[in-house]
Structure 1
């Protein structure tokens, strides 16, 4: 009897141990290097765990992305993963994040109303065209952002398109009539010729008119004068995107989202306790999860490849090695990696069984096949 009880306990303990997380999806925007430099960058990496994860797979596919959607691949992919938009590869790919992000900031979008994301930005006049800086480099304080927000607010209210404050870099606008307006994401437009990415549609002229009003309002404002005195760039415009019609509730799968190194609008899509993703706690939680780690975006957009390499090396220690170990010992059933750049993404799935394919050499070549 005692032997049977021991056997039963052992079987139950084994079952409990094997009740690990079934699937983890880790999305890494800009983990695929710039094609022209890919060979040299990959040679500089020492990431054996990443090599194992993308070499010994049960499935692997490379997807091209149509840039005319005015989004980056990972933005369209995430919108579909959160059940907010059609598949990223479709003609209807979109990034309707505004209403969900509002909820993440504690705001209450009205069902049926249409909301946009708005970001304060710095726009430069170069020799040939207008250019917008990466939002992450603006260094805008809450106090300065609030001042500029309150200054602009009456103009939006006067149009019946009220503004809502999320954080220093993330505001929202309600504009029910602007359903035709096609906008580009700020990361698509940053450091590009802005003429190629300005809003399009019947209300594009009204959008530009409002933008001009705000630019004149902020021009030489004390906030910007003080910023210039501190050697910071002025806040002389805003960027509009991410519109959607608010639903009565958020999609259920959003509860599985974890983020790391994310801008405010992206962090707001995840629950507060899941805005600083950690692999140990996620795997230990035993619930399927989707993780978006955005730490590679800023250096890649700035073409700062030294920092990009350092960030990827850090990911090896903090994420790839622990995830590989979790696969091998059964705490993680399946790992899906979604690695992207401006023109597409690599989608790989691996498991404990796939990691036993010893005949497949560990290599980073898939990072250069794009």
Structure 2
């Protein structure tokens, strides 16, 4: 029996994947890439507890109570407001991230919480009391406008005050001064988002999961499917892909034009050769289908490539 494959690109706009693949979306459901990933595992609704899910990936177990992400970000003045710059393109080193994390977590600014370091870009706070605070992911702000994403709810003013205090602690931290000296954006703020309790998921609809995404990894664990690391060699991985329905979760850098072309060529060849029965791609909340090409189309493509060489 042939294998079926679903590929989810994290942090990749649908228009970008359409441009690098030449494919047209067959469906564009409401929601973003994170909501689309959750929907693959049967989890839908507003205010998804994304922090509890990525926590499960980072620590191998679900959080014991309410938890939220408090991720390091750069806050830059922009007119009358602040503009948020994510540090994905200029990430913190492990050493710098831990020094900054230790500085804010030891200060006791937020009472009654436990801090957890998941990764240089993923910090968490846990609380036995779930606060009434509603937030939004840092990548959802229009133009990075911080004012558009301030916490809301009855407990929001307290949390905003704590965030302001933490920002002052980060302002003159040694790693940030060193980053500014190298013309890199400092991690001078923390962004609260994704709070909630651990969701209960139905059994995973996938036989196997490979991923380098924290969200896909956490969803798989919560659905009873132990994820494996994303493959480095796509061709060797496809040759050994077992029968059944597999999910491959890839981070945004996999959609860079040259790398995406390599992935798509290998997937198309596996589909054309019958090693894969069906391939569905997800990006930015949109869904794409790879279609098996006819023998004539494959011959024409091969001739065009030889002519180019």
Q: Of the candidates 137, 144, 169, which is equivalent to residue 89 of structure 2? A: 137
Shift of the alpha carbon at 1:211?
Answer: 0.3
CA distance in 1: counterparts of 2:117 and 2:251, whole angstroms: 23
**Is the CA contact 1:27–1:338 (under 8 Å) kept in the aligned structure 2?**
yes
Alpha-carbon distance between aligned partners in 2 of 1:167 and 1:30, rounded to the nearest angstrom: 21
2:30 pairs with 1:75: no
- Find the counterpart in structure 1 of residue 281 from structure 2: 337
Structure 1 residues 63 and 24: CA distance shift in structure 2, 3 A: same
**1-structure distance, mates of 2:206, 2:163:** 32
Aligned residues: 289
- The alpha-carbon deviation at position 292 of structure 1 amounts to 2.7
How far apart in 2 are the matches of 1:139 and 1:259?
A: 20
1:272, distance to aligned residue in structure 2 (A): 6.8
**Whole-Å Cα distance in 2 between the matches of residues 357 and 179 of structure 1?**
60
Q: Which residue of 1 aligns with 2:247?
A: 290
**1:304 maps to which residue?**
none
Give the counterpart of 2:180 among 199, 215, 228.
Answer: 228
State the distance in 1 between where 2:74 and 2:202 align: 32
1:339-354 pair list within 5 angstroms: 339-340=283-284, 345-350=285-290, 352=292
What SS does the aligned partner of 1:123 have? strand
Q: Which moved more, 1:284-293 or 1:191-200?
A: 284-293
Summarize the Cα distance change of 1:224–1:190 in structure 2 as closer, same or farther, 3 Å threshold. Answer: farther
Q: Report what 2:229 is aligned to.
A: 274
CA distance in 1, matches of 2:240, 2:267: 12
In structure 1, runs of 5+ residues without a counterpart are 1-18, 67-72, 87-91, 298-307, 363-370
* Aligned match of 1:258: 210
1:257 offset after TM fit, Å?
A: 3.3
**CA root-mean-square deviation:** 3.4
Q: Which of these two proteins has the greater Rg computed from alpha carbons?
A: 1
Helix, strand or coil for the counterpart of 2:179?
Answer: helix
SS for the counterpart of 2:192 is strand
Q: Which runs of 5+ in 2 are unaligned?
A: 221-225, 301-309
